[in-house]
């Protein structure tokens, strides 16, 4: 006589997997613009140390303002 399986079920195994897009990356012009700006920052060379968060925020806002004025 065989004994029944007493393995419990993981509820996560019963859930359907979410749909995942076939491609990754920017999906619109706006996302492409943001992606391009991020990549410029990443590839711009060594970083800069800031004394305070306020100092960083002021420079960041100034650069955003300069880019949007173009």
pTM value is 0.39
How many CA atoms, within 13 angstroms, populate the side-chain half-sphere of residue 58? 6
Determine the Cα–Cα distance for residues 36 and 42; give it in Å rounded to an integer. Answer: 10
Quick: pLDDT tens for 4-63.
666 777 887 888 887 777 778 888 999 999 999 999 988 988 888 999 999 999 999 998
Q: Report the pLDDT value the prediction gives residue 59, as an integer from 0 to 100.
A: 93
């Amino acid at each position: 006589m065989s004994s029944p399986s007493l393995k419990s079920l993981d509820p996560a195994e019963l859930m359907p997997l979410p749909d995942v897009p076939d491609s990754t990356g920017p999906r619109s012009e706006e996302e492409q613009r943001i992606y391009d700006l991020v990549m410029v920052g990443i590839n711009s060379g060594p970083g800069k140390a800031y004394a305070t968060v306020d100092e960083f925020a002021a420079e960041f806002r100034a650069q955003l303002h300069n880019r949007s004025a173009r």
